[in-house]
């Protein structure tokens, strides 16, 4: 996420204080990426150093300075909207590293790693789904002026990412089952139902976007 470009985009609408920039950014992105107000002012200082913003007048009675774009700042903000975002290599994903190491470690059962993660991911998916239901419930909020709720769009991106993780876990499990000789572990392939934990197993119902999965009862489904 580019805080620099996001602040320039918000300032394109007019001068703002740092605290207002923080509030506007979080409101428009559904609070998905909370900003530290210190981070906002540090970024504004760098933008001012680079000649992209300037202080708009004197500080108010609370000592706050509103910032506005320079011509160079407006040009950079406008060019950002038109430029595609590069497909960068993802940051080190702990889950990917964890499962790769589990597969290559003889004393670790990768199926158990997958099953534990699947349960946690399913619970996260259910929580996001509840948030979406609440967000789209009638009369919970005034309709967006452009017909699309930016907060809902951000939430749906998170939902798609969680569903993608579930599909990847399914793929990893199927690959392990189809290639047992390639595994460097003595763990047996899973049966139709996992071994009960404390004598109990439970099954989370399928959603339209993902099939049902059996998960341990270690947490709230």
β strands within the chain, DSSP E: 53-55, 67-69, 202-204, 213-215
Domain edges within the chain? 3-82, 94-215
| pLDDT score of 60 | 77
Residue labelled with tokens 């909020």: 141
Coil, helix or strand for 152? helix
CA angle 135, 141, 145 (to 5 degrees): 105
Name the DSSP letter for residue 108. Answer: S
Q: Quick one: angle between helices 94-104 and 150-178, nearest 10?
A: 10
> CB of 8 within 8 A of CB of 79?
no
- How far is Cα of residue 76 from the mean position of the Cα atoms in its chain? 26
Rounded distance, CA 19 to CA 64, Å?
A: 9
Q: Topology of 3-82 in CATH?
A: Arc Repressor Mutant, subunit A (1.10.10)
| pLDDT score of 88 | 65
> CB of 120 within 8 A of CB of 95?
no
pLDDT at 209 over 60: no
The pLDDT confidence band at residue 201, using thresholds 50, 70 and 90, is very low
- Residue 10: left (phi > 0), alpha (psi -120 to 50), or beta? alpha
Expressed in angstroms, the distance from the first to the final Cα of the chain is 31
| pLDDT score of 199 | 45
pLDDT at 134 over 70: yes
The pLDDT confidence band at residue 215, using thresholds 50, 70 and 90, is very low
pLDDT at 112 over 80: yes
Rounded distance, CA 165 to CA 154, Å?
A: 17
| pLDDT score of 204 | 41
The mean per-residue pLDDT over the stretch 48-64 comes to: 88
pLDDT at 193 over 70: no
pTM value is 0.60
């Amino acid at each position: 996420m580019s805080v620099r470009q996001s602040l320039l985009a918000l300032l394109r609408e007019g001068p703002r204080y740092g605290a207002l920039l923080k509030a506007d950014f979080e409101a428009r992105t559904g609070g998905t990426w909370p900003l530290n107000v210190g981070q906002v002012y540090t970024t504004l200082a760098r933008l001012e150093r680079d000649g992209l913003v300037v202080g708009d007048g004197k500080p108010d009675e609370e000592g706050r300075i509103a910032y506005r774009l320079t011509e160079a700042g407006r040009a950079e903000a406008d060019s950002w909207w038109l430029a595609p975002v590069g497909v960068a290599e993802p940051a080190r994903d702990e889950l990917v590293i964890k499962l790769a190491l589990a597969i290559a470690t003889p004393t670790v059962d990768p199926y158990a790693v997958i099953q534990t993660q699947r349960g946690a991911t399913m619970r996260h998916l259910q929580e996001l789904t509840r948030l979406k239901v609440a967000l789209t419930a009638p009369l919970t909020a005034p309709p967006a002026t452009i017909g699309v709720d930016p907060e809902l769009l951000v939430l749906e991106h998170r939902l798609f990412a969680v569903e993608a993780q579930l599909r990847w876990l399914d793929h990893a499990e199927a690959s392990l089952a189809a290639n047992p000789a390639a595994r460097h572990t003595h763990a047996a392939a899973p049966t139709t139902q996992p071994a009960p934990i404390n004598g109990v197993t439970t099954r989370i119902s399928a959603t339209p976007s993902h099939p049902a999965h059996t998960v341990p009862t270690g947490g709230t489904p």
